[in-house]
Amino acid sequence: MKKTVRSVNNIIIVGMIGVFLITSPYLLKAQNPVTGTLVGYVFDQDGTSPLKDAVVTIKNITTGKTYKSEGSDFNGMVRIENIEKGVYQYGVTTSKGDFNSDNLIGIQEGNTANVSIVLSPYDEKEAQAVDQIYQNVREDGEALVGRVEKFDPVSNIADIFIIYGFLQQSDRIHVKGNRTDYYQDVSGLVLDGTTVEKAFAGTTVKSRLERNTDVGDLVYVICKKSGALPLFLTHPCGIAALVAGAGFVTLGIIELNEEVTVSPYQPSKKK
């Protein structure tokens, strides 16, 4: 009788072990989200010199979860593993300072996103202007940049006096006044009869506005990128530009392997 009971017990134990072995992979999968990997190469502004000891930080634009790499090796390579699927903004920290992203990176489950990043430092004037803009960022992610001084309703050309920081091609702006409230991308800047990429504080630049606008209306630059402010709002020293790789995404839409040009503050419309 004892042998029979022992045999039954052994069968039960073996059965329980078998069930555990069969179900454990599914339990582990349920507990641990499927993840991806980021492999990146960080280069100096010449685009060919690997940068050692650069740290890449990525932040999920939906959940806010962040991941950080170890310092890059002699080849400029960094690696971050076990990243949850999603779209990420990024930033790079070096001995020279912090660099904000000019794009977003997409992470797919079970895949590796390979990207190359080139660091482009601001000159002294640009750095001061960026600091000025970031210091004026409101809770809604907008910063006052200028004021409409003159508007021609026939051509829709406005004279915009730059109050803080700078305004540049492809920035997303918000024009707001007592009767005015709309958004548009900057599509052209003319300073003293010459087309320019940037117009700095203290200058008056001509630009075409898409709607009728009143003199005195304020112009705000949108500092958010797909709903998220840049990683570094205190004294960023340049832009970390994605120049190649399989991690490009369209901003605001999870579509991997697709490149789109953006400004340091706000994505431009897809070309």
Separation of first and last alpha carbons in the chain: 82
Whichever domain contains 165, its CATH number is 2.40.30.10
| Cα distance between residue 16 and residue 12, in whole Å | 6
Question: Which pLDDT score, from 0 to 100, does residue 170 have?
Answer: 87
Q: Which residue has the higher pLDDT, 209 or 139?
A: 209
Residue 265 falls within a domain, yes or no? Answer: no
Give the pLDDT confidence of 29-47 residue by residue, as tens digits. 444 558 999 999 999 999 9
Residue 149 falls within a domain, yes or no? Answer: yes
Residue 83 falls within a domain, yes or no? Answer: yes
Q: Summarize the confidence of residues 79-84 as an average pLDDT.
A: 95
Q: Which residue has the higher pLDDT, 13 or 97?
A: 97
Residue 179 falls within a domain, yes or no? Answer: yes
**Structural domain span for residue 17:** 1-30
Residue 263 falls within a domain, yes or no? Answer: no
Residue 64 falls within a domain, yes or no? Answer: yes
Q: Summarize the confidence of residues 230-240 as an average pLDDT.
A: 92
Q: How many domains does the chain have?
A: 3
* Domain co-membership, 108 together with 55: yes
Question: Which pLDDT score, from 0 to 100, does residue 42 have?
Answer: 97
Over the chain, what is the mean pLDDT?
Answer: 83
Whichever domain contains 53, its CATH number is 2.60.40.10
* Domain co-membership, 81 together with 150: no
Give the pLDDT confidence of 59-80 residue by residue, as tens digits. 998 899 999 999 999 999 999 9
DSSP track, 222-264: E--BTTB--S--SS--EEEEEEEES-BB-TTS--BS----B-S
Give the pLDDT confidence of 141-190 residue by residue, as tens digits. 999 999 999 999 999 999 999 999 999 998 999 999 999 999 999 989 99
**pLDDT exceeds 90 at position 16:** no
**pLDDT exceeds 50 at position 20:** no
| Cα distance between residue 56 and residue 113, in whole Å | 14
Q: What is the DSSP letter of 5?
A: H
Question: Which pLDDT score, from 0 to 100, does residue 269 have?
Answer: 38
Sign of CA dihedral 33, 39, 45, 51: positive
Question: pTM above 0.85?
Answer: no
Q: Are 96 and 74 in contact (CB under 8 A)?
A: no
Residue type present at position 188: G
| Cα distance between residue 148 and residue 218, in whole Å | 6
Residue 231 falls within a domain, yes or no? Answer: no
Q: Which residues contact 134 (CB under 8 A, 6 or more apart)?
A: 143, 223, 230, 233, 234, 236
